Amino acid sequence: MTPLLIIFLILLVVSGAGLIVFIMLHSGKGTGISDAIASSLYNSSNGTSIVEKNLDRFTIVFAIVFLVSLIVLMIIFPQGAIK
């Protein structure tokens, strides 16, 4: 296994786990985990919107890293033959 393969596999796994965590933190209809955290930290509506914006940003960054690492792995190993 080459160091490039190891780096992209680690990126893929970490970004996948991060995506799961950050998507689960998003609020569905006002009953999400992020609303519980935001309501305990901030009592105004401005605090909640800041928390949601940052959560959106983190989710987008993890999604981009996940997709880029997946595409690079697909280009390097088109048939899935890792030796």
Mean pLDDT over 28-37 rounds to 61
Distance from the first to the final alpha carbon of the chain: 6
| CA–CA gap between residue 26 and residue 24 (Å, rounded) | 5
Mean pLDDT over 7-21 rounds to 95
Per domain, the residue ranges of the chain are 3-74
Whether the model pTM is above 0.75: no
> For residue range 50-81, what is the model confidence (pLDDT) as tens digits?
888 888 999 999 999 999 999 998 888 877 66
43, pLDDT greater than 60: no
DSSP assignment of 11-41: HHHHHHHHHHHHHHHS-SSS-SHHHHHHHHH
Query: Burial code of 43-52, b = ≥16 C-beta within 10 A, e = fewer?
Result: eeeeebeebb
Mean predicted lDDT score pLDDT of the chain: 81
